[in-house]
Structure 1
Amino acid sequence: MPTPTVVLVHGAFADTALWFGVVAELRSHGIPVLAPPNPLRGLASDAAHITSVVARIDGPVVLVGHAYGGALITVAGTADNVVALVYVAAYVPEEGESLSDLQGRFPATELMANLQRWTYRDPAGGEAVEVSLTEEAYPAVFAADVSAPVARVLACCQHPLAEAAFEEKATVAAWRTRPSWALVAGADRTIAPDVERFGAARAGASVVEIDGASHAVALSQPTAVARLIRDAVYAVS
């Protein structure tokens, strides 16, 4: 099998910049990488977008999802050329389960209490609600192990998530038919580490846990994240 292309899917309140260090690490090992933008408009539509990206790739794909991106790769990962899934501080839902359902199994983090809500015009012409983290809370809740200046930049550049995405249910769970790996961020204050552990264990994933890592672990510890992704790539190559 040729070396799989790694497709990196960012989550809410971030963009592709989260993956800069991971991309550099993977490319230094000769692994092809793509980090497409994520619309953050809803589970079904965002997963369909990622599926369309995967369909353009000639050859096998390892899908990597951060945070909300984990839910997207769970759905998009059923594409024929997807050979492995990697979850990074991510939600790992079951078929028929929403993010709210999964998070509701455990005590709430600081995320929900620090969201701000805005309305936007949806494609059908109606009004919908999107959410983002307050700039004041962002550094501590999302990026506690990132330098303060960088965390402040991330806070003002974040991409909001459609609020409805929390309630959409996964229509399929690709981890049932694909091998998976997972990284648990031990000091995550956005998604509770217990949520990450639970989802990873349920999926039978090979798990690495990093004590003290924040939700922004892909940015703060790109070498460790890339190492786990390489493990997945080499295992299926």
Structure 2
Amino acid sequence: MRITNSAKIAAAAVGLSAALAGSGCASAEPTPVQPTIVLVHGAFAESASWNGVIDRLNQQGLANIAVGNPLRSVQGDADAVRGVVAAINGPVVLVGHSYGGQVISQINDPKVKGLVYVAAFAPEEGETIGELSGKFPGSTLGETLNKVTLADGSTDLYILPEKYQKQFAADVPDAQATLDARTQRPLNDRALNGKSGAPSWKTLPSWFVYPDADYNIPVAAHRFMAERAKARATVEIPGASHALTVSQPDAVAKVIVDAAGAVS
């Protein structure tokens, strides 16, 4: 699979440069190349959780793709995203929700120009998401989990369907929250306990958008991570839940569009 950013625009830019050169003009400003937005979901969600955000990015003319995050291990999941990035021509902005933030932090590819963290983890080297969520009080996730032991000895973690809306998606309409609870994808405990490598947020510009009513990741942890990463911009949404991509697609898309414009 190869994804090409605005081939017609690039061709037009080449033609314009040639025309200007032939007319005796000294120089022309290069046409900015918009990045492709790569969206990485987190635990207890799946790719369709980005649907509302994708609609808004499409309206802005931004190429985008939502990756199926395996949720099996930090490095294995990062490898899956790395493969998608490698197939893209041109610059990329990586966007991660929840555990997806840890995954995008592991991608070191010169095509990646910026990072957007959406109610997401941004761990330091050696940290796990479990450690980060427990660093500050407020997370009630552990009380809602159903644990399923797998044949390989690892454990898959689900949020109990009857507790899903209150824990994960309190500001999502009932029908949608019920559907999301049934289609959630589990996080393996090897991913939960996986230590981060050297994070790319130390060398790339980052943007953070997060809720202040998050029961998975305490808001104090969000603030701490954004400050530590020296975020270009931080947006805190009052009353929003952890399911920010579903309940607040306008706000999320705006941050992504801002980031894309800043790195173009």
TM-score by length of 1: 0.96
Deviations 1:146-166 (A, max 9, x none): 001110111011100101212
Percentage of pairs with the same residue: 46
The answer to whether the aligner puts 1:120 opposite 2:150 as a matched pair is yes
The answer to whether the aligner puts 1:74 opposite 2:105 as a matched pair is yes
Deviations 1:104-123 (A, max 9, x none): 321251101111100223xx
Partner of 1:51, secondary structure, is helix
Match of 1:176 in 2: 202
Match of 2:44 in 1: 13
Q: Report the residue type matching 2:141 in the other structure.
A: L
Distance 2:64 2:252 in 1: 14
The answer to whether the aligner puts 1:217 opposite 2:217 as a matched pair is no
Tell whether the 8 Å contact from 2:133 to 2:216 is kept in structure 1 after alignment: no
Gaps of 5+ in 2: 1-31
Match of 1:94 in 2: 124
Partner of 1:70, secondary structure, is helix
Query: What does residue range 144-155 of structure 1 map to in structure 2 within 5 Å?
Result: 144-155=170-181
Distance 1:120 1:23 in 2: 34
Match of 1:60 in 2: 91
Q: Report the residue type matching 1:114 in the other structure.
A: T
The answer to whether the aligner puts 1:103 opposite 2:136 as a matched pair is no
| Greater RCO, CA 8 A, separation 6+ | 1
1:103 to partner: Cα distance: 2.0
Segment of structure 1 superposing worse, 96-105 or 178-187: 96-105
1:168 to partner: Cα distance: 1.1
Q: Report the residue type matching 2:248 in the other structure.
A: Q
Deviations 1:32-71 (A, max 9, x none): 0000111000111101111111110011000000000000
Gaps of 5+ in 1: none
Partner of 1:228, secondary structure, is helix
Distance 2:138 2:81 in 1: 28
CA RMSD of superposed structures (Å): 1.0
1:236 to partner: Cα distance: 0.5
Match of 1:196 in 2: 222
The answer to whether the aligner puts 1:25 opposite 2:56 as a matched pair is yes
Distance 2:150 2:86 in 1: 30
Q: Report the residue type matching 2:223 in the other structure.
A: R
Partner of 1:65, secondary structure, is strand
TM-score by length of 2: 0.86
Distance 1:229 1:139 in 2: 26
Deviations 1:205-237 (A, max 9, x none): 110010011011111111110000000000000
Distance 1:199 1:69 in 2: 14
Count of matched residue pairs: 232
Match of 2:162 in 1: 136
Distance 2:126 2:245 in 1: 28
Structure 1 counterpart of 2:79, from 28, 48, 52: 48
Partner of 2:234, secondary structure, is strand
Q: Report the residue type matching 2:44 in the other structure.
A: F
Tell whether the 8 Å contact from 2:138 to 2:215 is kept in structure 1 after alignment: no
